[in-house]
């Protein structure tokens, strides 16, 4: 029966599992960004609160893109259970450090998935995830630029106020 069911999709069990894991990672990212938005809001960092809220929405879109892909191919997309969402941060800067770390982790995940797709000769999924690999260039760029503002502007005096104002204006110009 299980074998028969497997015929409903061209996805291998391994790739389907990896895609579901990534659905969970994107959903987790979305939840983490939402908590970051709330933390910034509580501290009076309005610009950053808006920035993280927007990021949270984008991560949910990423999740749905993966989710729909799995189902469209006849697979079984799983609605993920999200745990381990930090609600508190030690400092304004540490929020952005965590954000960059998260994006670097996601890039690595997609690289691993690309690797698995090649090994499994799943070229259709390989092609599908190209969009995400490209997107990660932008995601990492923006997260890194945000963190760099802490160095460039400095946190003393009205520094944090300036940083917060500039965070939502960071843009990646696609080559
Ligand atoms: Fe994402
Ligand atoms: Fe992201």
Where is average pLDDT lowest: 4-8, 55-59, 123-127?
Answer: 4-8
Check residue 1 and give its pLDDT.
Answer: 54
The dihedral formed by the CA atoms of 90, 92, 94 and 96, expressed in degrees to the nearest 10: 150
Tallying the residues shown for the chain, one arrives at 175
Distance 26 CA to ligand 1 centre (A): 5
How far apart are the C-alpha atoms of 26 and 171, rounded to whole Å? 21
| Measured distance CA(56)–CA(68) in Å, rounded | 18
pLDDT of residue 162 exceeding 90: yes
CA of 106 to the centre of ligand 2 (A): 7
Distance 25 CA to ligand 1 centre (A): 8
Closest ligand, as measured to the CA of 140 = 2
Q: Ligand 1 centroid to 156 CA: how many Å?
A: 32
**The pair of three-digit structure tokens given for residue 130, joined into one six-digit string:** 């190209």
pTM over 0.95: no
Q: Percent of the chain scored above 70 by pLDDT?
A: 96
Q: Which two tokens stand for residue 125?
A: 């999924």
Give per-residue pLDDT as tens, 80-102: 999 999 999 999 999 999 999 99
Summarize the confidence of residues 115-130 as an average pLDDT: 97
Q: Which ligand is nearest to the CA of 142?
A: 2
Q: How remote is the CA of residue 157 from the centroid of ligand 2, in Å?
A: 31
pLDDT given at position 10: 86
């Amino acid at each position: 029966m299980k074998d028969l069911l497997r015929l409903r999709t061209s996805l291998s069990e391994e790739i389907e599992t990896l895609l579901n894991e990534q659905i969970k990672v994107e959903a987790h990212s979305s939840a983490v960004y939402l908590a970051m938005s709330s933390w910034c809001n509580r501290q009076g960092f309005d610009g950053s609160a808006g920035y993280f809220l927007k990021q949270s929405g984008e991560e949910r879109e990423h999740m749905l893109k993966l989710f729909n892909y799995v189902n469209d191919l006849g697979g079984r997309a799983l609605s993920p259970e999200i745990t381990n969402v930090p609600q508190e941060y030690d400092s304004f800067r540490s929020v952005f450090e965590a954000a960059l770390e998260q994006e670097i982790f996601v890039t690595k995940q997609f690289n691993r998935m690309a690797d698995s797709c090649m090994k499994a000769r799943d070229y259709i999924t390989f092609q599908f995830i190209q969009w995400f690999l490209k997107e990660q260039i932008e995601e990492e760029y923006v997260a890194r630029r945000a963190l760099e503002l802490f160095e460039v502007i400095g946190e003393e005096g009205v520094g944090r106020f300036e940083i917060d104002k500039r965070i939502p204006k960071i843009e990646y110009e696609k080559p």
